[in-house]
């Protein structure tokens, strides 16, 4: 009697069809890997996750960075706030300095170059799931160590946070009032717009952040330090 192989659920977000097919060929070498999510951009990926039961969520997701509609770094940041149990490994063709740090700050567990072979991909999955490691291509690891030395005494600042870039100014204002516990009627009174218009803004926020409840938004806001004085 054959032993039942327990499948490891994984996902891929990649806008390039050739790269998607190449990845699928590589992981297809391992019958224990089950690719349950294949998405073409961040929005597509997050929408697919919303439709899955918690028991069916992927354990590890390989994420491209440069994608239309929503890039990989923003996607990881939002997804880790909603699904902290998912591990993300970035797949990229570039050893880009800024992207390395941004991906790590967003919550990525690893960083691989796309030309890595199937064995390296399988090892990376095992490393994050079994040992809580941070798999990196050798070239990426060397560059990361060098950059850490260069940036040790630097304070990294940005003009606008990721959430401010994702939402309009009005939506960001609505978000801050929601975080403060105000309902649509009270927000309308504060901002001078109708409660109906407030609800439309809130619906847009839910859609852009791929959440279903105010509780999720408040949790994400505190985890990502989105709370600002208004």
Residue 22 vs residues 14, 26, 114, 153, 217: alpha-carbon distances, Å? 11, 6, 9, 41, 36
- Residues 115 and 170: their CA atoms lie apart, in Å, by 42
Residue 13 vs residues 21, 72, 141, 163, 230: alpha-carbon distances, Å? 12, 8, 22, 21, 36
CATH number of 8-151: 3.40.50.2300
- Statement: 162-223 belongs to CATH 1.10.10.10: yes
Query: Is 60 exceeded by the pLDDT of residue 153?
Result: no
Beta bridge partners of 112: 91
Kindly report, as residue ranges, where domains of CATH 3.40.50.2300 are found in the chain.
8-151
pTM passes above 0.95: no
Mean pLDDT highest for which of 9-18, 67-76, 89-98, 196-205? 9-18
Kindly report, as residue ranges, where domains of CATH 1.10.10.10 are found in the chain.
162-223
Three-state DSSP at 198 gives helix
Closest to 171 (Cα-Cα) out of 215, 216, 105, 217: 217
- pLDDT category at 21 given cuts 50, 70, 90 is very high
- pLDDT category at 1 given cuts 50, 70, 90 is very low
**To the nearest whole percent, how much of the chain has pLDDT over 70?**
85
- Residues 116 and 226: their CA atoms lie apart, in Å, by 36
pLDDT of 32: 94
């Amino acid at each position: 009697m054959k032993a039942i192989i327990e499948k490891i659920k994984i996902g891929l977000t990649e806008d390039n069809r050739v790269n998607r097919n190449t990845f699928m060929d590589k992981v297809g070498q391992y019958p224990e890997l089950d690719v349950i999510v294949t998405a073409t951009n961040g929005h597509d990926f997050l929408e697919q996750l919303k439709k899955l039961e918690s028991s069916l969520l992927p354990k590890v997701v390989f994420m491209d960075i440069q994608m239309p509609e929503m890039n990989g770094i923003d996607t990881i940041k939002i997804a880790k706030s909603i699904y902290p149990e998912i591990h993300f490994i970035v797949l990229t063709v570039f050893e880009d300095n800024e992207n390395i740090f941004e991906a790590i700050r967003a919550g990525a567990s690893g960083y691989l170059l796309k030309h890595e072979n199937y064995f390296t991909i399988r090892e990376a999955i095992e490393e994050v799931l079994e040992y809580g490691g941070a798999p990196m291509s050798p070239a990426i690891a060397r560059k990361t160590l060098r950059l850490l030395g260069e940036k040790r005494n630097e304070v990294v600042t940005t003009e606008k946070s990721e959430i401010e870039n994702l939402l309009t100014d009005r939506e960001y204002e609505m978000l801050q009032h929601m975080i403060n516990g105000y309902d649509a009627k009270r927000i309308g009174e504060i901002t001078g717009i109708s409660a109906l218009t407030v609800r439309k803004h809130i619906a847009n926020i839910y859609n852009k952040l791929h959440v279903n409840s105010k509780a999720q938004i408040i949790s994400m806001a505190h985890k990502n330090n989105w709370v600002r004085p208004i």
